[in-house]
Structure 1
């Protein structure tokens, strides 16, 4: 039985020692996401034979993530399978990226079923695309930014610091009121995770930006590195009555993310039509497909999600 433990803020260095040095770019591995959403998934972790492993609950269903590390992956996978059996649950992993499918099939041929879900694919962009917006394909984005600059010539962009957290919370509360987010489970959960992240901003290792127009906050955003070449943007909120606020905060933050990060991961669209359209409009370099991977020949009623 694997000795899993709850994720806490104090586990940041332990977890990021594995994730930052991994080639994997999926948003699920951001420490902020892991910690801020633990209330919903009861996420736990362990170190097994130089692999970082995660275990969580999606509703009443147990799930794992693909182990992160180097060494005997087959051995660790078999230990996870045994852990699921001890829990009297089927063995399933969520968020397994496309590149892992071949690896799993080579290690344990014919033992896994793979199910892709487009709603949970990550949108990954070239950092230079979002920071420069060059070319015809970004003309409409430049138009929004230019309009914002012309309308609010004295606008201000500043880094999120402890003294600016309250402004972000106030804008989030107003956004939530306008969008009735407390009446919807998905946005209500997002709000809880967002507020936790803002209250523990520095401890989580987050960085972000705030946009003001006419002296008033109109947008904010934040995120953190996923690995050594990919920065994850986890939250972006703006006053929808301010034309160009979303485009401007996106552009400014991209220009303040350190140049070492070749890619920016702006996470999934969750099947929301407007969100998908917006994410596609920024011309992703990669749409990172992710799979649910379940051990073959388990009782069907046990793996129905």
Structure 2
């Protein structure tokens, strides 16, 4: 095996020592990949790690997106205390009760598959502060409740363009960190871990699809998917996978975790559709948390004008 000799890799391009010493995550994600900034795409390598105070400033000062809804925000306490995050447990309060176990700094994301720039990346080198903006999106859960959430994040398409997927990449697969010591819910077989989700590449590249790193102008709380999660606002909430450590570009359609667990109830597309009922309850109405009564569920969660074209000619009862 060829060994690099100084000065083949400049000191400033070597993986930060704290990332190396975070061994559990390192060993599970590395899988033999070299971890150097030399593997980073041009532009990503130039993005220096952000000290925590600068990172907080970037989140607080992120501009508002024109793609935001103007609906009334759900209050922060509700958003951070009423969550589905089965890695912490199945009760809505489990994520906020147990979220302190999750260590999110340092954090690495493995990129693999049909892509020109595979590697194991320090999160700080993947997220550029100039990409950040605040997006106020509706969130619709398959359990028929909803919220309006002010995320801070960036278009996933920006990152995909930097990583340069090949022409064989038809789907993008995401995986959550697997670490039962930090995620007590993973000690039980509620799902087959790690949690896995996927998007078609045109869905992943859509301007509405974002990676969120903040909430209410602050770093993303652990119970809401820190340090980085997917947000796809026209799909049910379980598609918006949390605490992501793997991005895999592949040619075949993946099988997501809920598809694997209950294929008759959870499809790959998971588009919000009031006309297709869950086998155990209707999706025609929803309960907006903080409001009394119920409201009608909107097709594609109210984003029909922007995303309906992605599914032209598809039977949305078959491809649910």
Q: Bin the TM-score by the shorter chain.
A: under 0.3
TM-score calculated relative to the size of structure 1: 0.24
Which structure has greater helix proportion? 1
| TM-score (normalizing by structure 2) | 0.24
- Larger relative contact order (CA 8 Å, sep ≥ 6): 1
